Chain A
Amino acid sequence: MNIARALRAVRKSIWVFHLNSGSCNACDIEVLDALTPYFDVERFGVKLVASPRHADVIIFTGPVTRESLPKVVRAIKAMPRPRLILALGSCAVGGGIWWDTYSTLGGFKKLEEILRESGVEVDRVVYVPGCPVRPEAIIYGTLLLLGAVEQKVRSSEVAVPEG
């Protein structure tokens, strides 16, 4: 399969599946908000679907609780390639407030390692910080995933000035 060609095809319109891996539900409510006519992410051809088998993108929330792990892996495995993931909220990005609790993996990064070990490849991930993410941040993240906007944040290292 030609992944590069498939990725270009995805640009037209994307179908998303909403996957909650144990979030507090605030991010999920913001996802609904982004889909309502008020923020209306459907303007960009984004449509919510009920099965990961139909999805181009998984909207991923939550820090991946141990309880949800097998189901999450199954859902991502069920997705056709190219697998695109929009990791929403501080939980999914860096574990958030649950980053070192015994019952979570601490975000998508760890899950990605587990997926790789079990042979499930993910083709592109966009991380969207926020607690909860605001609907506009979800729209921005989606546009970044589709390559319609430029990434604003960059890693930086600044030395404290002398004197």
Chain B
Amino acid sequence: MSVAKILEMALRAGRVTRRYPYQPPLLTPEFRGAVRIDPSKCWGCGACVRVCPPNALTIRSSGKDVTLEYFVGRCIFCGMCAEVCPAGAIEVTKEFELSAASTEDLRTRLVHRLARCSVCGAPVWTEAELRAVVKASPIAEEYIALCPKHRKERFAKAVALRLGAEGE
């Protein structure tokens, strides 16, 4: 190909090179970047952890609190966690400038307080989730601060009373 021909083609095409980072990136509306978990909305239910294909989300209880960890270094940006979250706490952002010098920088943690049974003190689940349950069904309030065992006991007692058993 002659130089003149190449020059003519180049002039016709013009400049195609993107100037990023001195120009906004080419993000399409469909692009999915890192997810963001809203601490004021999350219940700590763990639904997102179960659905996350590469286990980028993990949840663990230390006996004192419950920590939901997001390791963006393993996330495949599928958005399934946002779809499944019952609280609508997960937002898929367009963030892609996630480079870091250490993998520790890629971890974000959300710490939930653990609620305890008011009778025996056994851990029940996160306070945020219990609040959400009461909000959805106010009748649950009486039973909410109990572990499953004491909840059963109290319920059985309430039924027995209604059936005419003698109160204490």
* Residues of A bordering B, CB below 8 Å: 37-40, 43, 90, 93-97, 99-100, 109, 124-131, 133-134, 136-137, 139-141, 143-144, 149, 151-162
Say whether A156 contacts B109, CB under 8 Å: yes
CB-nearest residue of chain A to B109: A157
Considering only residues 16-59 of chain B, those with a C-beta below 8 Å from chain A are 16-18, 20-21, 25-26, 31, 34, 39-40, 42, 44, 53-56
| Residue ID in chain B nearest A142 by CB atoms | B99
- B54-91 interface mask toward A, CB cutoff 8 Å, 1 = contact, 0 = none? 11100000000000000111111100000000000000
**Contacts A90-B73, A93-B73, A160-B111 given; does A37 touch B99 at CB 8 Å:** no
Q: Does B105 lie within 8 Å of A143, measured CB to CB?
A: no
Q: How far is the CB of B129 from chain A (nearest CB, A)?
A: 10
A38 to B113 alpha-carbon distance, docked (Å): 49
The answer to whether A90 and B105 touch (CB under 8 A), given A37-B17, A38-B17, A136-B96, is no
Contact B20 A136 (CB under 8 A): yes
Contact, CB under 8 Å: B98 / A130: yes
The answer to whether A96 and B128 have CB atoms under 8 Å apart is no
CB within 8 Å for A139 and B105 given contacts A127-B99, A160-B128: no
Chain B hits for A140, CB < 8 A: 21, 96-97, 99
Please, could you name 21 A-B residue pairs with CB atoms under 8 Å apart, sorted by A? A37-B16, A90-B73, A90-B75, A93-B103, A100-B55, A125-B101, A126-B99, A127-B73, A129-B73, A129-B74, A129-B106, A130-B98, A140-B99, A144-B101, A151-B99, A155-B105, A155-B108, A156-B109, A160-B44, A160-B127, A161-B39
Q: Does B156 contact A (CB under 8 A)?
A: no
Would you call A94 and B39 a contact (CB within 8 A)?
no
